[in-house]
Amino acid sequence: MNQNPTLDTLLSHRSIRRFEETPIPDGDVRLAVAAGQQASTSSNVQAYSLLRIRDADRLAKLVELTGGQAKVARCGAFFVVCGDTRRHRLLAERAELPYETRLEGFLVAAIDATLFAQNLCVAFESMGYGICYIGGLRNDLAAVQKLLRFPRGVYPLFGLCVGKPAEDPALRPRLAPEAVLFEEHYPDDETLLAGVRDYDASMREYYAARGAAAASWSEKIEAQFRQAYRTSVADYYRDQGADLT
Amino acid sequence: MNQNPTLDTLLSHRSIRRFEETPIPDGDVRLAVAAGQQASTSSNVQAYSLLRIRDADRLAKLVELTGGQAKVARCGAFFVVCGDTRRHRLLAERAELPYETRLEGFLVAAIDATLFAQNLCVAFESMGYGICYIGGLRNDLAAVQKLLRFPRGVYPLFGLCVGKPAEDPALRPRLAPEAVLFEEHYPDDETLLAGVRDYDASMREYYAARGAAAASWSEKIEAQFRQAYRTSVADYYRDQGADLT
């Protein structure tokens, strides 16, 4: 199978962290949203929504809440991607049916929202924009809630910066496909760690060229376990109405 | 902004439920996996893996476990998409660090795996294949576990059928973009339900043309609340090592 323009778009993705600040026209956003919506959705529930934030004060506050990520206020459009079960809860209530979703309901919303978001991003990238997901939105969801006041049933999952790239970073190497795709059975721990050693070797160069703090991927992963991290995410989603049982 | 080939791929997606059974060549799978891997990943953790199942007995059993979906055994390739934190746990253990992930760790794996999966699907579609996500994999995860024996730290999320389409279904209409994209603030309940009424009207035709049981989207959503549904998903993921707190 030869390359095609869609594969070119997918294979040339790297996150962009410096953007031109010209606002993205509504027509482009609408087209990308429509492309996002055409992604698969579990039993067609479409359990997601997208909030665009333009207000300068709110963006300044979000820069702070995402850990000082200036790009949140300096891009062509900043969005919050949300799992959204609000419509479904309203319909259940209207029909006087019990609204019992368990973890499955939350998971469907998270998966649906992510399928939508990835199509949205690929659409933007195909139009010449760059993107960066902002997982830092989950650093302090209670404070984000005070600022943006998501209704019950809406679960903000991550932020998204979009805009014309003002930098041209190299692609970041990934694990080898053989370390991710398995046939019939999973490999043993030793095989898995051998794959990590190979990847560490390829990432060492990448990190060194960028003067990164970590010397290898292993070190970077280990660093994540050196301190407690986003420990109240579940509490927040439960407050928003999620049943995580 | 005009159309481009990538937008055409995204906007022409509909799930395929009848496939040619010719196995997809390994080269095509590898290319699609590489395109999937180039999707964004939270802090580069790459918390996912993909299991291809070819064994006829296992596929027959999976048809049953997903609710009698014959296509699981009758497609070009059947995969299970997994959130996968196994590598990270092994690295934490090797470095004698506490492996504490809370809900955040599970959520990152679910989001990472879904970003990967959607890129994978778009890649396959750009190559002329059709795809169908199989959420029915979560109907009875304990039985799927007995069959496929996922290691601890691996969280099977959904199945995926891929193959040359043996049908040409119409696109399924989605909610209007205005019902999904909001600016600064969420609408009130009445506005949300007005959007549902509009969508019900457009879906009524779609369902009627297909002789579907539901007369509208609302009815279809309500039907989901008429019986308890996948109630032990959380128990299964906890048994696999997920911390959902």
As a whole number of angstroms, the distance between CA B39 and CA A120 comes to 12
As a whole number of angstroms, the distance between CA A196 and CA A166 comes to 33
Taking residue A188's Cβ as centre, other Cβ atoms within 10 Å add up to: 10
- Which residues are paired to A162 by β-bridges? A77, A131
Touching A: B residues 44-63, CB under 8 Å:
44-46, 48-55, 58
Q: What is the DSSP string of A84-98?
A: E-HHHHHHHHHTT--
The amino acid at residue A234 is: A
- pLDDT, tens digit, 9 for 90 and up, residues A146-175: 999 999 999 999 999 999 999 999 999 999
What tokens were used for A171? 């692609």
pLDDT of residue B125: 98
- pLDDT, tens digit, 9 for 90 and up, residues A120-141: 999 999 999 999 999 999 999 9
A96 pLDDT above the threshold of 70: yes
Q: Are strands B48-53 and A181-183 parallel, antiparallel or unpaired?
A: parallel
pLDDT of residue A211: 85
- Quote the minimal CA–CA distance from A166 to chain B in Å: 19
The mean per-residue pLDDT over the stretch A86-97 comes to 97
Which stretches of A58-153 are assigned E, i.e. beta strand?
77-84, 130-134
pLDDT of residue B2: 56
pLDDT of residue B28: 98
Q: What end-to-end distance do the CA atoms of chain A give, in Å?
A: 44
A106 pLDDT above the threshold of 80: yes
- Which residues are paired to B79 by β-bridges? B52, B160
pLDDT of residue B178: 96
Beta carbons of A109 and A85 less than 8 angstroms apart: yes
Contact A186 B121 (CB under 8 A): no
As a whole number of angstroms, the distance between CA B87 and CA A180 comes to 11
- Quote the minimal CA–CA distance from B143 to chain A in Å: 16
Residues of chain B predicted below pLDDT 70: 1-2
Task: Tell me the backbone φ, ψ of residue B10, rounded to 5 degrees.
Answer: -65, -45
Taking residue B3's Cβ as centre, other Cβ atoms within 10 Å add up to: 11
pLDDT of residue A2: 56
What CATH number does domain B5-171 carry, 3.40.109.10, 3.40.190.80, 3.60.70.12, 3.20.20.70?
Answer: 3.40.109.10
The ipTM is 0.98
CB-nearest partner of B126 from A6, A48, A111: A6
Q: Does A184 touch chain B (CB under 8 A)?
A: yes
Give residue limits of the domains in chain A: 5-171, 173-228
What tokens were used for A56? 């300068």
Taking residue B211's Cβ as centre, other Cβ atoms within 10 Å add up to: 6
- A126 contacts in B (CB within 8 Å)? 4-7, 10
pLDDT of residue A14: 98
Instruction: Report pTM.
Output: 0.98
- pLDDT, tens digit, 9 for 90 and up, residues A25-81: 999 999 999 999 999 999 999 999 999 999 999 999 999 999 999 999 999 999 999
Contact B181 A92 (CB under 8 A): no
As a whole number of angstroms, the distance between CA A149 and CA B88 comes to 34
As a whole number of angstroms, the distance between CA A66 and CA A50 comes to 18
- Quote the minimal CA–CA distance from A20 to chain B in Å: 18
Contact A7 B35 (CB under 8 A): yes
Sign of the CA dihedral running A153, A71, A134, A116: positive
A11 pLDDT above the threshold of 70: yes
pLDDT of residue B210: 87
- Look at A1 and A49; give whichever has higher pLDDT: A49
Touching A: B residues 22-41, CB under 8 Å:
25, 27-31, 33-41
- pLDDT, tens digit, 9 for 90 and up, residues B80-118: 999 999 999 999 999 999 999 999 999 999 999 999 999
Element (H or E) spanning A108, and its range? Answer: helix A102-126
The order of strands in the sheet holding A130-134 is A130-134, A154-163, A77-84, A48-53, B181-183
Contact B4 A127 (CB under 8 A): yes
The mean per-residue pLDDT over the stretch A214-242 comes to 94
CB-nearest partner of A114 from B111, B172, B183: B111
A193 pLDDT above the threshold of 80: yes
